[in-house]
Amino acid sequence: MNTKITFLGKEFANSIVTASGILGVTGATMVNNVKEKGVGGVTMKSVSVEPREGHPNPTITTGEHFMINAVGLSNAGVENSVKEIKYYKENCQAPLIASVFAGDIKEFGEVTKKISEASPDFIEVNISCPNVEDEFGKPFAADPQLATAVTKIVKENTDIKVIVKLSPNVENIGKIAQAVEAAGADAICAVNTFNGTLIDVRTREFVLHNKFGGVSGPAIKPMAVKAVYDISQAVKIPIIGTGGVTTGQDVLEMMLAGATLVGVGSGVHFGGGKDVFKNMMGEIKEIMEEEGIEDLMEMIGGVKSDD
Amino acid sequence: MKNNSQQPTILPIKKIVQETPAIKTYTFEHKLGAEPGQFVMLWIPRVDQKPISISRQTDSSFDLSVFKVGKATEALFDMKEGDKVGISGPYGRGFNIEPKKNIVLVGGGCGSAPLRMLGEEAEKAGCKVTFITGAQTSKDVLFKDALSDTCITTDDGSAGFKGFTTQKLAEILTENKDTDKVYTCGPEVMMKGVVDVCAKHKISCEISMERYMKCGFGICGQCAVDPLGICICKAGPVFSGEMAAKITEFGQYHRDKAGVKHEL
């Protein structure tokens, strides 16, 4: 039975990667995710040129079936993040996906150039964070032309393979996917979180300090799977599918919809904490055995359809 | 609290006691069910949400003793009895109490807060508890009278033993050879000193660490420590002396809310 995955020419021990913003602040945490928790690869928290403190707390909370966050893209800045990536690379072989964001097109080029010095295996471009609209306006992922422009400048500033992370808060995610594919993106990650909010009844206050945030967790899985399927029908480049994945079965479902790799974020909380990835892999192997699946790669885009 | 939900439970402040010029204790009538050493996330709407340790617990109430240190705690200090705050948790791994042992608690400043709860619980478990509570001057000492066997230390000698808690601990461990375990919470440099004193006397200890936290339940990775990469909010905040020795940043540096490293 083979559970290894080849994604853009690099080998992952399995199809699960941590999603950006989850256990990805320090190099040591990401090493821990691989060595102690058994994840196939890691995505670092998004990095900007300068350090950012993000929003005050509450930045992350959960309901029974969802998580909502407005961390506000806090990060230590690209210079410090290069050191964290270097620490990771010295201590771990599993592929690392760096994640970058910026407030304008030019800065996307700058942060990409600087993060490339750390030689991450891939660079994910976060054009879809919903939690900084007050500061930056609508995410770049909401507009095919802006998404194209960001993808182009990122590609011009690095030789590393580029993954563009898309927002589900758009009318036609397939069209945005086609735009970034045409602009040179090597892969797509989808989806980022859904716009949402949470109001406390007793105090009549918004719970998140930022008022609005991004919704993730089991509640969004059906919408995320549909978005991944729509993208897979629209483009030829590989997809990292993410959104509400909590179990091994969810991982396989996301792969059938078209994902080569599957990102897990709030699933770390909903799926049982530190053993979540091991549990998922156990379940995946069990299903593979029961269904006679020899190679996990077979699952990619394997949903049956007459179309 | 519902399964999986970390949404704050809204509670009115039942009682406020001014402990020292910079520390107040807030009592809430709510069955929290925490272990000593665990913490809650305290939400002050429109201001911030911070991890706070629990200084006392009964079957129907709990206390938070808070040191005024920044914007959130300043806002809390302006609040009155009856005002509402949000509580999430309890979170983290607390202190391990072994029944009927001779233990010493070493608290520095507001670090004495979780040790008071620990001391009370340990006494219920039949332990003989010696509590060292240290501060800069006599007016800053937290919980002078909370536990029966309490030693006060002050840096300036204005009350109790003149000197550091670590000096007093060394004195106690030299005199009382039957001490089984030491527990500490306070400034990290002090706790590092406690770990060293305990190592010298071959006595096991537990420490309680603090790092900048965002989620509080082990998802965001903001409070991860080097080189283990484990989250203080989930794997800690309490660690054994042996674990503390593996956390190389302990007593050396921490990361701020952006994730930038600063020396302690």
CA dihedral for A258, A261, A265, A270, sign (positive or negative): positive
Compute the mean pLDDT over every residue in chain B, rounded to the nearest whole number: 96
For residue B1, the model assigns a pLDDT of 44
What chain B holds in terms of domains, given with CATH numbers, is: 9-91 (2.40.30.10), 102-263 (3.40.50.80)
- Helix (H/G/I), strand (E/B), else coil: A201: coil
For residue A76, the model assigns a pLDDT of 97
Average pLDDT estimate for B18-47: 97
Token pair listed for B101: 């042992």
Chain B contacts of A51, Cβ < 8 Å? Answer: 258-260
Looking at the DSSP assignment, which residues form a beta bridge with residue A200?
A205
B48-59 burial, b for 16+ CB within 10 Å, e for fewer? bbbbbbbbbbee
Q: Report the phi/psi class of residue A8: left, alpha or beta, with left for phi > 0 and alpha for psi in -120 to 50.
A: left
Partner-chain contact A26 B260, CB within 8 Å: no
Partner-chain contact B49 A266, CB within 8 Å: no
Is residue A260 within 8 A of residue A240, CB to CB? The reply is yes
Walking along chain A (307 residues) 10 residues at a time, the average pLDDT comes out as 97 97 96 96 97 97 96 96 97 98 94 98 93 81 94 98 97 96 98 96 96 97 98 98 98 98 96 89 97 97 90
Burial of residue A89, with CB atoms counted within 10 A of its CB: 0-12 exposed, 13-18 middle, 19 or more buried: middle
- Partner-chain residue, chosen from B7, B50, B255, that has the shortest CB–CB distance to A207: B7
Report the residue of A20, A22, A25 to disrupt the B interface, i.e. the one with the largest count of B CBs within 10 Å.
A25
For residue B83, the model assigns a pLDDT of 97
Average pLDDT estimate for B45-58: 97
Is residue A69 within 8 A of residue A214, CB to CB? The reply is yes
A16, A129, A228, A245: the catalytic one is A129
CA B99 vs. chain centroid, Å, equals 21
Q: Which residues contact B214 (CB under 8 A, 6 or more apart)?
A: A54, A57, A59, A60, A71, A74, B220, B222, B223, B257
> Rounded to whole angstroms, how far apart are CA atoms B35 and A50?
40
> Rounded to whole angstroms, how far apart are CA atoms B48 and A59?
9
Compute the mean pLDDT over every residue in chain A, rounded to the nearest whole number: 96
Report the residue of A32, A42, A43, A61 to disrupt the B interface, i.e. the one with the largest count of B CBs within 10 Å.
A61
Q: Which residues contact A103 (CB under 8 A, 6 or more apart)?
A: A48, A135, A136
What chain A holds in terms of domains, given with CATH numbers, is: 5-52+73-194+217-299 (3.20.20.70)
Does the structure's ipTM exceed the value 0.90? yes
- Partner-chain residue, chosen from A26, A60, A273, that has the shortest CB–CB distance to B214: A60
Average pLDDT estimate for B103-126: 98
The whole-model pTM stands at 0.95
- Partner-chain residue, chosen from A24, A53, A62, that has the shortest CB–CB distance to B221: A24
Partner-chain contact A51 B48, CB within 8 Å: no
pLDDT beyond 80 at B3: no
- Continuous H helices in chain B: 71-77, 112-124, 165-175, 188-200, 232-235, 241-246
Partner-chain contact A203 B258, CB within 8 Å: no
pLDDT beyond 90 at B134: yes
State how beta strands A261-264 and B62-67 pair.
Answer: unpaired
